[in-house]
Amino acid sequence: MSTPSPSSPASPPASTTPPLARGVITTHPIIGVFGVLLGALIATSTGRLISVGLPDLRGNLHLGVDEASWLGTAFNAALMFIGPFSVYLGGLLGARRVLLACAAIFTVICILLPFAASLPVMLTLLVLAGLTAGTFYPLTLSFVLRNLPMRYILVGIAMYAADIVFITNFSTAVEAWYMDHLSWHWIFWNSAVLTPVMMVLIFFGIPWQPLPTPKPGQPRPNWRGFLYFSLGFALMYMALDQGQRLDWLNSGIIVALLASGLFLLGAAVVRHFVLPNPLINFRFLVRRNTLLLGVVLVCFRFVMLATVVVLPSYLGTIKGYLPLQTGPVMLEVALPQCLFGLLAIYLLKYIDARLIMTAGFSLVATACLMNAHLSSAWSGANFWNSQWIMAIGLALAFNSMVGAIILEVVNTGALTRPIDVLTFAGYFQSVRLFGGEMGASFMGHFLSVREQFHSNILGQGVHLGEPATGQRLLGLTAGMSSQSPSLMTAGGRAGEILTLQIRQQAFTLAITDSFMLVAFAVVCCLIVIACMAPVPTQYRQVIKAAAVPA
């Protein structure tokens, strides 16, 4: 079968006409969509709840800052490890078996996590939780691509995209509600309640398939290449996650993690070309749009930091917001995304995905430029307009990006080749996790460096002999005199307050720089989108071809 040329758009695309060529099509598509949707939601929410609830976990488990920092690293590094390895498991056992088995194990682990007696036990359980939950993402994409009828493909994209972006911003409010009304145990029990529902949906929504068998003369699948590749990325992920805390290359731990990770990745590449693995096809990835979409995905993960990291950092550090107060501000981004995500999917039927991505990222840049004018007097209410613009932009950008990714698979004819679908899913899972961590690490380092820079610049203008400094100290001393036993004590407290105000202004300026950095990243992303090649088959043709009886 060959893909029709662009000159003959009237003929349905050969890669989408016979649905059975893509695999066993589910007879319960809506159930299957909800099942894999819930799986992606559970994996996302677990990681976000651990990240947002880290201060509460540290307090209730009596852990130090350094010890607690490894909780999120253990879970997310395991997600990173199992992402590429899921390609091997899915090709060897089938997506349905892997998802059901991993979901069952993950449920038990989430029930046990709050009862961990020590930090090593909790870290071990978090690694196991990450290894099992990490299979949900790549196998979800594999199911949508190979087992969902094409007439439901846009529904699957809409629900998957809205799920990922929505739950990322919604988790802050959920964690705050758990801490205010229940307990910290629900950071883990949240997933223990939802995962059995996912298992039921997968059981009925994903069809049973016999174990894949290699063709005569085809090399047998091997696990060593996947192990090297997965472990290499996991080690580098750990280095990025802990790099800022351990001072990057000045730490022997970071150097060892980076060196080991790079060595294992090199070993994986060499092994693949010496002993090719039948479950992966690197040549399929060396395509213009596939590589550029990977860059767009990295840019999107970095852009999301404007709402996931930068804004909460400002509200928490400058305004002293608790998670319960930050949650409503985050919901201003989460809630509109459902509505405008559906709009993006509707537009995909008629408009090129690149144009929708361009509009979405442009709106995100506009919102970041609006936020770049903030001052230390801003509160959560001041972000209302920019948050709505940000929500619309993120919804359009992410839904159209996922749509473009799946449309790329359709146009390459990969739906008739399970190896390419698995390779594709593993590639974007790795890019999503590793690229996101690269962006988060860079943003953390950028914030720290810019805060130090602005603190030094502001500090140079504050001298005891300066009239402005003297007037400021006299005013603060007068304000503190009624609360101090002596004038000397009031003067000391006035100096401390002035120092804190300088730090506050320095961090506010660093936040504005971060919003400008995100806007610059959007400009770079728009250039990448402009370099993408048009695809011959659009969604209107895919849906039209799916409606034609076989």
* Per-residue pLDDT tens digits for 134-189: 888 777 666 666 666 666 777 767 666 666 667 777 788 888 889 888 889 999 99
* pLDDT value at residue 212: 62
Element (H, E) at 209: none
**Full-model pTM:** 0.83
Q: Which of 447, 450, 432, 431 is nearest to 312 (CA)?
A: 447
Q: What pLDDT shows up at residue 462?
A: 67
What integer pLDDT is reported at residue 482 of this predicted model? Answer: 67
3-class DSSP assignment, residue 453: helix
Strand, helix or coil for residue 463: coil
DSSP state at residue 64:
-
* Residue labelled with tokens 């995209």: 161
Q: Which residues of the chain have pLDDT under 70?
A: 1-27, 29, 87, 91, 140-151, 156, 158-165, 212-222, 278-279, 461-484, 486-488, 490-492, 494-495, 545-550
Structure token digits, residue 354: 């690149």
Let me know: does 3 contact 14? Beta carbons within 8 Å: yes
From residue 388, give the alpha-carbon distance in Å to each of 325, 326, 399. Answer: 18, 16, 17
Q: Which tokens hold the place of 118? A: 């020590």
- For residue 33, the one-letter residue type is V
Burial class (CB in 10 A: 0-12, 13-18, 19+), 530: exposed
Residue 247, phi-psi category: left (phi > 0), alpha (psi -120 to 50), beta (remainder)? left
CA separation for the pair 433, 86 (Å, rounded): 14
Max Cα separation, the chain?
91
Return d(Cα 213, Cα 190) in angstroms, integer.
38
pLDDT of residue 216: 59
**How much is the pLDDT for 8?**
39
Task: Output the pLDDT for position 5.
Answer: 39
State the Cα–Cα distance between residues 385 and 362, nearest whole angstrom: 15
Please give the distance of CA 186 from its chain centroid, rounded to a whole number.
Answer: 22
Q: Are 398 and 161 in contact (CB under 8 A)?
A: yes
The runs of H, that is alpha helices, within 182-251 are: 186-205, 224-246
